[in-house]
């Protein structure tokens, strides 16, 4: 009689992370251009969740934080007409004097919408978002919200 029980060796098993586990993504050591795997969301020492880079970049490197670098602006008058839109804008947007900068789609927010503010940011808006200085792997990417 042959035993058909499934094999269960340590080499064949892998631990699957739960939704409460932060998967450790290996950090690269060589600077390169950014792409869809360049950024991860992590708890931030600044506020809530932040955007962290997985490899170093040099000053001036384009940061692929958004699929589209244009900004959607919703006026306060538009928000007053639609209470749900107003709530989404105030939660996810960056408030300005006459409008709020918000994602093009609240259900498809790019990683860039999780950037935290800093008065000494390491990213700046210059023909898209670019590294304002050399940025090390594992460092949180920050912007000045006044640049919206």
Average pLDDT in the 103-129 region?
83
Average pLDDT in the 67-78 region?
83
**Which pLDDT tens digit goes with each residue over 40-63?**
888 888 988 899 998 899 999 989
Report yes or no: 57 and 103 within 8 Å, Cβ to Cβ: no
Residue 124 parent element (H or E): strand 123-125
105 vs 40, more confident: 40
| Exposure string over 57-96, b if 16+ CB within 10 A, otherwise e | beeebebbbbeeeeeeebeeeebeeeeebbebbeeebbee
Average pLDDT in the 121-134 region?
89
Question: Mean pLDDT score of the chain, rounded to an integer?
Answer: 80
Query: 142 is written with which tokens?
Result: 């920050």
Report yes or no: 30 and 55 within 8 Å, Cβ to Cβ: yes
| Per-residue confidence (pLDDT) for residue 121, from 0 to 100 | 94
Q: Report CA 52 to chain centroid distance, whole Å.
A: 7
**Burial class of residue 117 in the structure, from the number of CB atoms within 10 Å of its CB (0-12 exposed, 13-18 middle, 19+ buried):** middle
| Per-residue confidence (pLDDT) for residue 82, from 0 to 100 | 92
| Per-residue confidence (pLDDT) for residue 78, from 0 to 100 | 93
Query: 36 is written with which tokens?
Result: 């869809």
Report yes or no: 127 and 121 within 8 Å, Cβ to Cβ: no
| Per-residue confidence (pLDDT) for residue 16, from 0 to 100 | 55
| Per-residue confidence (pLDDT) for residue 69, from 0 to 100 | 67
User: In percent, how much of the chain has pLDDT > 90?
Assistant: 22
Report yes or no: 115 and 141 within 8 Å, Cβ to Cβ: yes
Query: 45 is written with which tokens?
Result: 């020492």
Which domains are seen in the chain, by residue range? 27-67+110-148 (2.170.270.10), 70-108 (no CATH)
| Per-residue confidence (pLDDT) for residue 60, from 0 to 100 | 92
| Per-residue confidence (pLDDT) for residue 133, from 0 to 100 | 94
**Which pLDDT tens digit goes with each residue over 6-34?**
555 455 555 555 555 555 677 777 878 88
């Amino acid at each position: 009689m042959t035993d058909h029980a499934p094999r269960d060796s340590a080499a064949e098993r892998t631990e699957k992370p739960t939704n409460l586990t932060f998967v450790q993504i290996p950090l690269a050591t060589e600077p390169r251009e950014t792409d869809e795997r360049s950024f991860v969301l992590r708890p931030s020492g600044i506020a809530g969740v932040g955007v962290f880079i997985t490899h170093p970049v040099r000053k001036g490197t384009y940061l692929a934080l958004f699929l589209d670098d244009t900004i959607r602006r919703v006026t306060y008058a538009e928000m007053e007409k639609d209470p749900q839109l107003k709530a989404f804008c105030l939660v996810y947007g960056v408030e300005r004097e006459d409008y709020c900068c918000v994602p093009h789609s609240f259900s498809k927010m790019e990683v860039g919408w999780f950037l935290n503010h800093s008065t000494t940011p390491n990213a700046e808006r210059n023909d898209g978002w670019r590294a304002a200085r050399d940025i090390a792997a594992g460092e949180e990417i920050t912007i000045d919200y006044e640049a919206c």
